[in-house]
Structure 1
Amino acid sequence: MAATSMAAALAASLPAPQAAPAPAAPTYEAIPASMSKAIDIEAEIPLTCVQLDGLVVTKILKHSREAPSTTAHGLLLGLDLDGILEVSNSFPLPHHNNDDDDKSAKSIARYQASMLRSLKEVQGDDNVVGFYQATTLGAFFNQTLVDTQAIHQERLRHGGIVIVHDLSQTARGNASFRAFKLTPAFMDAYKKANFSASSLISHRLTFSSILEEVPLKIRTNPLLSSFLGAMAAPSTSSLTGVHPKSATTSALPPSFSVLDLGNTGLTRNLEQIAEAIDSYRTEEGNVAYHSRQIAREKLRADTYVAKRKEENASRVAQGLNPLPEEDISRLFKIPPEPSRLESMLLLGQVDAFAKSLESNASAGLVKMYAARASSGI
């Protein structure tokens, strides 16, 4: 409930979906054919790519590094143009540590609305196109992300997207950014609020079909690219009598972090897998308990109905009027079938942790063999 209320509060300042107005005779000049694809007023062109500006990348990296926790998140601003979602700006949302989830969600919603209003006053980009979420070890499946993205897909053009930034990959020197949106099958089940076993089977839903990935590319300013290239280029020292190895310098020295042979990340990865599996087993135990309750109540109801039928048949044989039929739903409170959404999300986390462990372990083995070969042992 807390995740749902927070997602609803975050979306409070988003534009509400409006009904299509009644068609009227146009009194303006039609859009030229050459601009019909670029000016996509009705959002009819499908989204094919997400383009992140270099400024957005640095803002997300800075916010994720300085955030007090690994759950840093914020809003993305930009414009969709000819099937490409151009993200030109972003701003972080505050993080609250208090226990009052409703109060924190309302505070975040007020901050979001204030930021959008301020950007509009200074003629900045104020069109929300999605949000970003920092994660670690690739495990970004959680209820808050799903609820927030579901609300965005109902209110934003082209449904909006979520950018997932992996902190563990960035720490190893590989900036990881991926774009996702919810699949149509999952959105259909989400709108019906039905994640029972039969619903998952009919929609063919698994943890791998909750989100679909959208191609992402990063756009850098040519001037910025030239500046970084000039900083990375080696320059000759102007001092006399300098050692040949120190004769050339660079403002951006090379990083040797990829050569680190430490295994601290693997230990933490294994711990995360164990915790996710324990959470999944606990959730499956809760689902099994509720399923037994449902089966027990259904058995009681079926037994009552069978007994009533036998009694009415006996009364009819004796020439008496049968007893009136009673509403079974009022006599027996059969609980609804438990939701399997949390189980799917936990399976997604286990899968992400396992893939991260596989990638890191394989890279670590290659480094260890390379170090052993170079040492001559």
Structure 2
Amino acid sequence: MSAPSMAAALAASLPAPAAAATPAAPTYEAIPPSMSTAIDVEAEIPLTCVQLDALVVSKIIQHSQDSPSGSAHGLLLGLDLEGTLEVSNSFPLPNHTNDDDEKVSKSLARYQTSMLRSLREVQGDDNVVGFYQATSLGAFYSQSLIDTQAIHQERLRHGGVVIVHDVSQTARGTASFRAFKLTPSFIDVYKKSNFSASSLVHHRLTFSSILEEVPLRIRTNPLLSSFLNVLAAPSSASPYTSAHLGSPATSAIPPSYSALDLGNSGLARNLEQVAEGIDNYRTEEGNVAYASRQIAREKLRLETHLAKRREENAQRVSQGLNPLPEEDVSRMFKIPPDPSRLDSLLLLGQLDAYAKTLESAAGLGLAKMYAARAGHTT
């Protein structure tokens, strides 16, 4: 599904901004002093942390594993309380491959509305606080993610967040979850739809300042923690079976030997992504350079005609005639706007993510190989 269709569907399902009209004489019940900091009606408390429930973590991991090519995405539900965005539930969004963006947008909007209505009927959390997106090798910069997060920050009370889950890290035994928001400087440029070079320099905007990371923590309830401890702890064998058969104590969760894996299987794929990202960036820079040359050529033609018009007007003035207007010459040429640098920024963000993932994987792999070699020689 393309970026405009997904953004349009989310815009249709999210609540519209509240109307400015208010009753003539509103009356409100006083908030107790003990709850004055917890109830943030006007969204004055800044968002300082995102708290993921263990149920949400398991749902996102399962959805990412079941989805093809790591294209899983969905909505996050919860509540913001005292500057902490508590995400208590989530549900996946269907991944449409149809080329008809309008039909996909309407279908996705109906699905989201139906899911939120069903959650409301069973007294579940139906307050949208953001969305999650699965990615691979840490490269999550995309036009779709930017457009969707921009809609959330415009419509949701605290702006909402995007949770990025790295599928490649989970495959190595490490569940990677990060929370992000768009920076105010990028929102300012995004609303003006001006990503020219001069605008980026004026706002000091680079690929690293598009998103700002929000601290994230995962919460497990006592019941789940107790259950996991029971599964991980060795089971106490019966004294009769242990005495006669000598059966060792085992746990329900088998031991993991992923730490002993040298982890070199993904390096080739990572290098391919880096090379492909460099090629895409060079292609985009070539397109920007071509557009810049076209603009410079049109400006030169305009300046040439204006110079001729000024010479002609000087001759007319010397002959006592009225000068001709220069606006007629300006209307003959349509100078195209400066090329957008947003795609270049996103490609640089992807390249940076690929390079950092490659650095981490290669460094850990080298350490394991030296350790294995040292253990083999001894």
Coarse TM-score class (shorter-chain normalised):
over 0.9
- The residue type paired with residue 372 of structure 1 is R
Matched with 2:317 is 316
In structure 2, the partner of 1:342 is 343
**Per-residue deviation, 1:262:** 4.1
Closer, same or farther: CA 66–327 of 1 in aligned 2, 3 Å: same
Letter in 1 for 2:361: N
Letter in 2 for 1:200: L
Distance in 2 separating the partners of 1:242 and 1:276: 63
Find the aligned partners of 2:149 and 2:89 in 1 and give their Cα distance: 19
The residue identity in structure 1 corresponding to 2:20 is: A
Contact 1:6 1:102 in 2 (8 A): no
The equivalent of 2:146 in structure 1 is: 146
> Structure 2 matches for 1:94-243, cutoff 5 A?
94-238=94-238, 239-240=241-242
- Quote the sequence identity (%): 77
Aligned residue for 2:282? 281
- Residues 137 and 166, structure 2, Cα contact 8 Å, conserved in 1: yes
> Equivalents in 1 of 2:122, 2:328: separation in Å?
63
1:254 is matched with 255
**Counterpart in the other structure of 2:375:** 374
CA distance in 2, matches of 1:145, 1:110: 21
User: CA offset at residue 112 of structure 1?
Assistant: 0.9
Which residue of the partner structure matches residue 84 of structure 1?
Answer: 84
Whole-angstrom CA distance in 2 between matches of 1:329 and 1:313: 18
The answer as to whether partners of 1:236 and 1:247 remain within 8 angstroms in 2 is: no
* Runs of at least 4 residues off by over 6 Å: none
Return the alpha-carbon distance in structure 2 between the equivalents of residues 147 and 61 of structure 1. 24
Contact 2:139–2:349 at 8 Å: present in 1 too?
yes
TM-superposed CA distance for 1:25, in Å, is: 3.8
Instruction: Work out the CA distance in 1 between the residues paired with 2:326 and 2:256.
Output: 79
In structure 1, how many angstroms separate the alpha carbons of the residues matched to 2:334 and 2:172? Answer: 55
The answer for the alignment partner of 1:59 in structure 2 is 59
Separation of aligned partners in 2, 1:329 and 1:225 = 72
Task: Give the drift of 1:117.
Answer: 1.1
**SS of aligned partner of 2:354:** helix
Deviation at 1:296, TM superposition (A): 0.6
2:288 is aligned with 1:298: no
Question: Conserved in 2, the CA contact under 8 Å of 1:173 and 1:257?
Answer: yes
TM-score normalized with structure 2 length: 0.96
User: Do 1:139 and 1:353's aligned partners in 2 also have CA atoms closer than 8 Å?
Assistant: yes
Mark the CA change 1:187 to 1:376 in structure 2 (over 3 Å): closer, same or farther.
same
Q: How many corresponding residue pairs?
A: 376
Question: How far, CA to CA, are the matches of 1:241 and 1:270 in structure 2?
Answer: 55
Give the secondary structure class of the aligned counterpart of 1:86: strand
**What SS class does the counterpart of residue 106 from structure 1 fall into?**
helix
Match of 1:31 in 2: 31
Q: What's the CA shift for 1:18?
A: 2.3
Matched residues in 1 for 2:71 and 2:202: separation? 33
Q: Contact 2:56 / 2:87 at 8 angstroms: preserved in 1?
A: yes
Per-residue CA deviation, residues 122-144 of structure 1 (Å, 9 max, x unaligned), is 11110000000000000000000
AA in 2 matched with 1:310:
E
Q: Structure 2 stretches of 5 or more lacking a match? A: none
CA distance in 2, matches of 1:297, 1:81: 55
Find the residue that maps to 1:310 and give its secondary structure. Answer: helix
| Cα-to-partner distance string for 1:234-267 (whole Å, 9 max, x where unaligned) | 12333356776x5110001111112112412000
CA deviation after TM superposition for structure 1 residue 374, in Å: 1.4
8 A Cα contact 1:287 1:338, kept in partner: yes
Residues in 1 aligned to 2:353 and 2:330: alpha-carbon distance in whole angstroms: 42
Letter in 2 for 1:359: S
CA contact (8 A) 2:43 2:158 kept: yes
Root-mean-square deviation (CA, aligned residues, Å) is 1.6
Q: Answer whether contact 2:119 2:125 (CA < 8 A) is retained.
A: yes
C-alpha distance in structure 1 between counterparts of 2:342 and 2:28, whole Å: 49
Please report how far the alpha carbon of residue 21 of structure 1 lies from its aligned counterpart in structure 2 after TM superposition.
3.5
Map of 1:48 onto structure 2: 48
Aligned-pair distance for 1:20?
A: 3.4
Gaps of 5+ in 1: none
Q: Quick one: structure 1 residues 278 and 220, their matched pair in 2 at CA, closer, same or farther if it must change by over 3 Å?
A: same
Cα shift at 1:28: 2.8
Mean Cα deviation higher: 19-28 or 39-48:
19-28
| Equivalent residue number for residue 362 of structure 1 | 363
Tell me which amino acid in the other structure corresponds to 2:280.
Answer: S
Instruction: Work out the CA distance in 2 between the residues paired with 1:286 and 1:350.
Output: 18
What CA deviation, in whole Å up to 9, does each residue of 1:96-132 have, x standing for no partner?
A: 1222233223221211111111111111110000000
Q: Which amino acid counterpart does residue 102 of structure 1 have in structure 2?
A: E
Aligned mates of 1:362, 1:153 — CA distance in 2: 37
